[in-house]
Amino acid sequence: MTLTQLLAKAHAGRVDELNLLSHEGAMYFVEVLIEGQRRLLKERETDVRGWAFRSLNEARHVLAELPMESINLVHLNVCDEIGPANQALPLDAAAMRLSVPLRP
């Protein structure tokens, strides 16, 4: 999903959740939940990989036009990034979620 597509869905009220996923504390990816489907924000539709941000502030700058008030900052347990110890648990069961304002 591109930023243009995300803006259209958000203005139509179709975005259920907006997450900023921390990857090893050095990169962040925006995950969007729409109608039960999780999608990564990409710079271009043809990109294979999600749009990587270096910080919360960089992501906030790019997402400034969204009508949403907050974004969930999600940090996975380091062990979960390797693979969950209990395969019955979803990957983000031990994740730390912190709702932060989209605009500082």
Residue ranges making up the domain that contains 50: 3-101
Task: Quote the number of domains for the chain.
Answer: 1
Res 97 pLDDT > 70: yes
Residue 66 or residue 94, greater confidence: 66
DSSP assignment letter at 62:
H
Euclidean distance between CA atoms 93 and 4, whole angstroms:
31
Query: Cβ(38)–Cβ(97) under 8 Å?
Result: no
Q: Quick one: pLDDT at residue 82?
A: 54
Euclidean distance between CA atoms 50 and 52, whole angstroms:
6
For the record, the structure tokens of 38 come out as 């999780």
Residue 79 or residue 48, greater confidence: 48
User: pTM score, two decimals?
Assistant: 0.82
Residue 97 or residue 104, greater confidence: 97
Distance from the first to the final alpha carbon of the chain: 25
